[in-house]
Structure 1
Amino acid sequence: MEDRLRELWDFADLSATESRFQELLERTSSDDDKAELLTQLGRIEGLRGEFGAGHEFVDQAEAMVSPDSTARVRVLLERGRLHRSGGDAAAAQPLFVAAFVLAKTRGDAFLAVDAAHMAALVDDPEKWTKQGLEIVAGSDDPQVKEWFGPLQNNLGWYYFENGRFDEALVAFEECPEAYAESGKAKTLKALGRDDEAASAARRALELLPHDSFEEWVDEMKAIAAAE
């Protein structure tokens, strides 16, 4: 199942996103639908660093949700995000797990993958990333399929950071090209395969988004020059 609220988000313009959710909230009558919108307003406050205000929105949502609804999944997920962003990973972990279990049971595939992605940030990265990838592999939903690149990329970096370079290389090679080349470049460099690393780094620079971090650009340029 797709995330019907996703199209309302613009992470580069939280004020405009907030206005869209507020306007829709005013036109919504169902408690569960209202609760879903309130959780998104809570997420916006969390992205602003206003965690208390974020929890207040989620509190309002929690008071009106049905027990096994999509709205309940969102309450768990956004409460977890607020705790994690506020520095309390221990409080976030069981909420992400509960969101994953309920979303998967309901068939809310997009939210289940989102919950697995978040659980990977506070628990076992390999386990939860693979859980998310399993759902992606079994879905025909284009929105759900879009999770493949970020999750596969995260798995590659987990292997890389733990010195599992051969597994990292396989993971990066399976990524969509935009995610793969920088990971391949660093991994090949770590394996001592400098010529291949330089080639991957040059390709990464060709795919470079205009707003990429300067440090990332410098790192790729250094690998490309070390052929």
Structure 2
Amino acid sequence: MGDRLRGLWDFGDLDTTWQRLSARLDSEPGDTGRAEVLTQLARVHGLRGEFAAGDELVDRAEALAGSVPVVRARVWLERGRLRRSGGDPAAALPLFLGAYEAARADADASAPFVAVDAAHMVALVQPEAADRRAWTRTALEQARSSADAEVRRWQGSLLNNLGWDLLEAGEPDAALDAFRQALAQRLAHPDSPALVPIARYAVAKALRLLGRPAEALPELETAVAESAAPDGWLYEELALSYALAGRDADAAAPARQALELLPGCDPAFAADSARTDPLHRLAGR
């Protein structure tokens, strides 16, 4: 079952998503159903950076939600996402917590999916790294124990988030374990092939930081071959792993590709000499 509205989403095509949700809004027979759809239309506004318009739709949804816990959870969840995307994670945190508690209290079939979504958002706005990891593990435990296949599917995203937090905490071995589990989850769902190269990249980065480039390189080479478009982060990691393996000649081409691609997609890259200098050296510039 999962989220009854999730199938209307295409995160790579917000215009189509808006059209589908608008059509669903017109066909919903009751106020609470319309409220749920309005929260999803508000999320589209949020992804477009249209926060005031998103708030207006959440206000409309709240007026229709009544006392149904999962519907109120959706209202708080999407209002929280608007706050976070608008640059106010502190304001988002109590909204996400409220969404989590409300969804946990509902027996509706969509409630477990919404609860895990809310817990994962609570994790993302925690100011302390240990609290981020704790909430991610809470969400992961609920996803793993669910009888709903769509709820269990959350594991890939949650394990990925946990891995990056562990890497930031200086625990590369634990991060590698999380990333490998995330990759296994991605491979188990071939309907989302774009997520597999990203998962391989994370595994390879942890391996490189552990000083194991011989294991990282096959993952990266496969990821480059699997990617639908050139990816600057993949080429950067590939160049660094070749260099660590003592293969500077092989590192030159991906280093050049990384230097060409990353300024256009990573705003922090050009000013970060710790990243640009090794690539310039490997590229022979």
> TM-score of the superposition, structure 2-length normalised?
0.74
**For 1:46-77, what per-residue CA distance to the aligned partner results, in whole angstroms no more than 9, with x for missing partners?**
11111000000000111121223321111010
Q: 1:27 deviation in Å?
A: 2.3
The answer (yes or no) to whether the contact 2:216–2:241 under 8 Å persists in 1 is yes
Aligned equivalents of 2:13, 2:237: Cα separation in 1: 30
Distance in 1 separating the partners of 2:232 and 2:213: 22
- Residue 69 of structure 2 aligns with which residue? 69
By how many angstroms is 1:212 displaced? Answer: 5.8
Contact 1:198 1:226 in 2 (8 A): no
Q: Which runs of 4+ in 1 moved over 6 A?
A: none
- Contact 1:32–1:69 (Cα < 8 Å) also in 2: no
Q: CA deviation at 1:173?
A: 2.5
Partner of 1:35: 35
CA offsets 1:141-195 (integer angstroms, 9 cap, x no match): 1211211111111111110112111211221222234354322221122122232
Which 5+ residue runs of structure 2 have no aligned equivalent?
Answer: 185-195, 246-285
Q: Once superposed, what is the RMSD of the aligned Cα atoms?
A: 1.8
Q: Which has the higher contact order (CA 8 A, sep 6+)?
A: 1
Aligned positions, number: 226
Alignment partner, residue 172 of structure 2: 165
Q: Which has the larger radius of gyration?
A: 2
Shift of residue 200 of structure 1? Answer: 3.6
TM-score by length of 1: 0.91
Residue 121 (str. 1) matches residue 124 (str. 2): yes
| SS of equivalent to 1:151 | helix
Show structure 1 runs of 5+ residues with no match.
none
How far residue 221 of structure 1 moved from its aligned partner, in angstroms, is 4.2
* Structure 2 equivalent of residue 149 of structure 1: 156
Equivalent-residue separation in structure 1 for 2:242 and 2:158 (angstroms): 26
Partner of 2:18: 18
Mean Cα deviation higher: 91-100 or 217-226: 217-226
Q: Percent identity?
A: 46
